[in-house]
Amino acid sequence: MSDPSEKIRCDACPVLCYIKDGMAGACDRYANRAGELVRVDPHVILDRTLEHGGQIVPFGHRDDWSGDLMEDHPRFVTAIGAGTTYPDYKPAPFIISTKLDGIDMVTVVTEGIFSYCGVKIKIDTDRYLGAEAATVRARGEPVGHVTTGEYGSQMLSLGGVNHLTHGGKKEGRVTCDTLLDLCNRKPVELAVDGGATMIVQAGCAPIVNGVQEQRMRVGCGSAAIGMFAQQWFGQVDEVIVVDDHITGVLSEHQAGKVLGVRETGIRIRGRRSTPGRYFHVAAPGAGWGGTNLDDPLSIIEGFDPSKAWPGLSLLMVSTTGEHAAYFRLDDALRPVEHAKPPHIVAFVERIRENCEPALSTVLFMGGAGGSLRAGVTENPVRLTRSVKDMLTRVTSGGAPVYVWPGGGITFMVDVMRLPANAFGHVPTPAIVAPIEFTLTLADYEALGGHMAHVRPAEALHASFAHLVSPDEVNPWPLDHLDPGGRKPRRKGGA
């Protein structure tokens, strides 16, 4: 595999475009995906040879190629571009049989129309995006809400049936457009009521109030103290890691105590949780460590004169190292800012170095528990049971999914792991997403599958399809599916 940062030269036509990673050529049909030249128009068939350095098999009307898609190499037919047979009393568009190590396997391929679906977005930022449960809007319409704050990130939950179909007509349409763009990795502008306006794009850094986020925090303020206390010990008298959630103070923190850091007599505003860990030192905002602070000294009430001493050195730093200032106490025990000496600069740089790049990540979540199952089997609940019993593997565009426990087939998939532009929509409004069910032919027959519609993969003609290299981080969809099935792991089972 070539270096993904390098541009590649496409030789599909005489234009010979140079294409950068993640970009398409002038034709919009060939793209550079992590250094590999791939086709990006449906119907998509994952071609396993590509990941082993093979060449893209041409398609179309060529003299030098028989046109059989399945010759030579293992392929997996994805549902991208497969179409649908809604209302699904008809068998799914493609029910494909393949042989895997001598076992006959079946993959039922359909594009599901998901009225019940949404996206879960994780935005790596310390900046204040809005209050929990605040409404998130796109083009003025409510499309979801702010949900929990998680480690170094803020979660948004968008879509769902209440916005797609139970709100106003425009609300449903805008929600559908927003979900579609996010799933197809396009940028979307979102505004939180009483909070930030941001541009979110799967796999890219979030842009919050016009500022592109660079780093995800190294940890909370207290965690940062724990991580680096030993490196700081003896080099600086006091360190305060400013954090809207948990601000850490070296000399009071357990890590400082264990090392024997001398008490500094510092008094911090906010509510002390445990020694050296403070909540609510300021209000949330776009300043230091996700607070509204521009002047970090405003969180210091003062120094106890019986413990502090003139010349005491103090580093104040945010959880990403993006903000930092260095002070020494004067004779009146007031902090005075000084230029950061080289070892202090190195401490701040170490924090920055340990921050991961900030990203927005998007998981599509949809429920395939409804009529779609009838396109797979005449007895839909058996498909649900088969998925729960892990006899049937669910994939979305060939990407692995997480099937939520409990009733139905509600799954989540990282949109970055599907081939490009895998999602569509219908005006209902609803999102069209690819879904494939893979199981043994014997199991398929047992659950009441549409046996008369099973076609061998070799029967798929090239003109239907094009080939893409699978995402190398995805497991091959047909691998490790135990033909005998796994024993159901049910609590209380025999």
Partner 1 sequence: MKERPACARLPDGARLNLSHGPIYLILQAFGTPAAVHAAEQAAMRRFATILDDLCAELPLLRSPACPSGQHPQGATACRMTDAVRPFAAHGFITPMAAVAGAVADEILAAMTGAASLEKAYVNNGGDIALHLAAGSAFTLGIVESINSPHIAATARISAESPIRGIATSGWAGRSFSLGIADAVTILARTAAAADAAATLVANAVDLPHPSIRRRPATDLQPDSDLGARPVTTFVGSLEQPAIAEALRKGRQKAEQFQAEGHIIAAALFLKGHGFNTGDLALADAPLAVLPKTSACPPAHQTMQRISVHA
Q: Can residue 211 be called a binding residue for partner 1 (CB under 8 A)? A: no
Rank residues 27 and 442 by Cβ distance to partner 1 and give the closer one.
27
Residue reference for tokens 């009225």: 115
Closest approach, Cβ 19 to partner 1, in A, equals: 7
Closest approach, Cβ 20 to partner 1, in A, equals: 6
Residue reference for tokens 């790049």: 357
- Tell me which residue of 241, 235, 244, 237 sits closest to 223, measured CA to CA: 241
User: Which segments within 20-82 are labelled E, that is strand?
Assistant: 30-33, 36-39, 44-47, 75-77
Q: Can residue 261 be called a binding residue for partner 1 (CB under 8 A)? A: no
Rank residues 214 and 371 by Cβ distance to partner 1 and give the closer one.
214
Question: Residue from 38, 45, 46, 56 that binds partner 1 (CB under 8 A)?
Answer: 56
Rank residues 141 and 471 by Cβ distance to partner 1 and give the closer one.
141
Task: Please check whether residue 335 is in contact with residue 102, taking contact to mean a CB–CB distance below 8 angstroms.
Answer: no
Q: Can residue 53 be called a binding residue for partner 1 (CB under 8 A)? A: no
Question: Residue from 5, 55, 66, 306 that binds partner 1 (CB under 8 A)?
Answer: 55
Calculated CA dihedral for residues 401, 406, 410, 415, nearest 10 degrees = -30
Footprint on residues 422-441 left by partner 1 (CB under 8 A): 425, 427
Rank residues 27 and 259 by Cβ distance to partner 1 and give the closer one.
27
Q: Can residue 473 be called a binding residue for partner 1 (CB under 8 A)? A: no
Closest approach, Cβ 211 to partner 1, in A, equals: 11
Question: Residue from 61, 489, 490, 491 that binds partner 1 (CB under 8 A)?
Answer: 61
Rank residues 229 and 358 by Cβ distance to partner 1 and give the closer one.
358
CA-based max dimension of the chain: 92
Rank residues 58 and 370 by Cβ distance to partner 1 and give the closer one.
58
Rounded-to-integer distance, Cα 27 and Cα 30, Å: 7
Rank residues 17 and 365 by Cβ distance to partner 1 and give the closer one.
17
| CA 288 to chain CA centroid, nearest Å | 26
Rounded-to-integer distance, Cα 268 and Cα 54, Å: 62
Contact region with partner 1 (CB under 8 A), list: 12-20, 79-87, 280-288, 333-341: 12-20
Alpha helices in 210-298 (DSSP H): 221-232, 254-259
For partner 1, what does the binding mask look like between residues 13 and 32, x meaning CB under 8 A? xxxxxxxx--x-xxxx----
Task: Please check whether residue 364 is in contact with residue 413, taking contact to mean a CB–CB distance below 8 angstroms.
Answer: yes
Q: Write out the two tokens for 471.
A: 């995402």
Closest approach, Cβ 188 to partner 1, in A, equals: 8
- Tell me which residue of 227, 290, 291, 220 sits closest to 254, measured CA to CA: 227
Give the pairing type, strands 335-338 and 300-303: unpaired
Give the list of residues 6+ apart from residue 454 with CB closer than 8 angstroms, or none: 95, 96, 97, 106, 441, 444
Rounded-to-integer distance, Cα 340 and Cα 352, Å: 16
CA distances from 334 to 301, 309, 326, 329 (A): 11, 10, 13, 5
Closest approach, Cβ 58 to partner 1, in A, equals: 6
Q: Can residue 461 be called a binding residue for partner 1 (CB under 8 A)? A: no
Task: Please check whether residue 199 is in contact with residue 188, taking contact to mean a CB–CB distance below 8 angstroms.
Answer: yes
Q: Can residue 36 be called a binding residue for partner 1 (CB under 8 A)? A: no
Contact region with partner 1 (CB under 8 A), list: 7-15, 408-416, 434-442, 477-485: 7-15
- Tell me which residue of 194, 213, 210 sits closest to 137, measured CA to CA: 194
Task: Please check whether residue 481 is in contact with residue 393, taking contact to mean a CB–CB distance below 8 angstroms.
Answer: yes
Rounded-to-integer distance, Cα 475 and Cα 116, Å: 27
Q: Can residue 139 be called a binding residue for partner 1 (CB under 8 A)? A: yes
Q: Can residue 34 be called a binding residue for partner 1 (CB under 8 A)? A: no
Q: Can residue 113 be called a binding residue for partner 1 (CB under 8 A)? A: no
Q: Can residue 457 be called a binding residue for partner 1 (CB under 8 A)? A: no
For partner 1, what does the binding mask look like between residues 150 and 189, x meaning CB under 8 A? --------------------x--x---x---x----xx-x
Interface residues toward partner 1, by CB under 8 A: 7, 11-20, 23, 25-28, 55-56, 58, 60-62, 139, 170, 173, 177, 181, 186-187, 189, 199, 210, 425, 427
